[in-house]
Structure 1
Amino acid sequence: MAEDQPPQPVKADTTNSTPTEGYDKKCIFCRIVNNEMGTELLHNDGDLSCFRDIKPGAPHHYLVVPNKHVGNCKSLNKEHVPLVKQMVDVGKDVLQKNSVTDLTDVRFGFHWPPFCSVTHLHLHVLAPVSQMGFMSRLIYRLNSYWFVTADQLIELLNSKAETN
């Protein structure tokens, strides 16, 4: 009976059984978004999904990813600025749904290639930053060669368009 079934995590919108365009079967994040890994999705709106990081660097550490496979942040251009902004908005929404009210003590950012373990674009959402340990402060350090904030990435993408 349906009442005997355990609650299921929020599933990605899969209207057909065949993965859609923009799906990379070798990509762990594509597989998570397509509910092939059993990872609980905290958010899925058809365009973006959010789930917990498996190695949290803060009490609240989430990853926001596009549902379609998009390369790392070096592959983006000015047309991707709205996507990055939308990813930040989803991150803020998930934080607020998880009782994080101080949005001044958060960090939104991306690892800069080649310092990415997964090439599918993903925004790290970390809170509270004040409770991050030593290693997390190093890994998600501002103004480093390996991590850029969402604001820095947006500024970079906008400046790319001006130089082209």
Structure 2
Amino acid sequence: MARRCIFCTIARGEEPKTTLLHEDEKFVAFKDQSPAAPHHYLIIPKEHTGNPATLTNKDIPLVESLAEVGKKVLQEQGGNMEDVRLGFHWPPFNTVDHLCLHVLSPTSQMSLLSSTIYSTTFWFMTVDKLLEKLQAMPAEQ
């Protein structure tokens, strides 16, 4: 884990202001400090992983696992499983250079600004769009 990365610090349990909602051997989950929806959670790998633009097709299982954990956390926290958005900020629009899945619900209760920030655009990519992009990449040797 990177020493100066705030998400690595959280994953190591060294950030006392952050309450983990989920922790397993690979991932941690916690509330976003500036929530854009009533349920806004961040799911990160414990191992330092760069932003989504650094991923390759070998990272498909990682993205799928992040989404599974995100859905599990949302369900455990009482979020609306039918009105949900899962995705990643695309550089240079990410604030931390550590892979971070945003889980937002219910999206119908997001403000216009939040809806814009977390809509499928060049600055935010849903899990499905990222998986399509990764699947289209040539296989690594």
- TM class, shorter-length: over 0.9
Q: Supply the distance in 2 between the matched residues of 1:26 and 1:99 (Cα, whole angstroms).
A: 33
Return the alpha-carbon distance in structure 1 between the equivalents of residues 66 and 115 of structure 2.
22
Question: Does 2:137 align with 1:160?
Answer: yes
**Letter of the 1:52 counterpart:** K
2:50 matched residue in structure 1: 71
Superposed, which structure 2 residues align to 1:79-90 within 5 Å?
79-90=58-69
State the Cα distance separating 1:46 from its structure 2 match: 1.1
Task: Please tell me the residue identity of whatever aligns with 2:133.
Answer: L
How far the C-alpha of 1:138 sits from its partner, in A, is 1.2
| Bigger-Rg structure (1/2) | 1
How do 1:25-40 residues align onto structure 2 when only pairs under 5 Å count?
25-38=3-16, 39-40=18-19
State yes or no: 1:150 paired with 2:98: no
Q: For residues 42 and 56 of structure 1, what CA distance do their matches in structure 2 show?
A: 15
Aligned pairs for 1:1-164 (under 5 A) are 23-38=1-16, 39-100=18-79, 102-142=80-120, 144-161=121-138
1:160 is displaced (CA, Å) by: 1.1
CA apart distance, 1:137: 0.7
The TM-score normalised by the length of structure 2 is 0.95
Unaligned runs of 5+ in 2: none
Q: Secondary structure at the match of 1:108?
A: strand
What is the one-letter code of the residue matched to 1:154?
Answer: L
| Offset, 1:35 | 1.0
- Percent identical pairs in the alignment equals 47
Q: Relative contact order (alpha carbons < 8 A, sep ≥ 6): 1 or 2 greater? A: 2
CA distance in 2, matches of 1:44, 1:161: 33
What count of residue pairs does the alignment treat as equivalent?
140
Q: What is the RMSD of the two structures over their aligned residues, measured on CA atoms?
A: 1.4
Secondary structure class of the residue paired with 1:65? strand
Equivalence for 1:16: none
Matched to 1:26, the amino acid is R
* TM value normalised by structure 1: 0.82
Report SS of the residue matched to 1:42.
strand
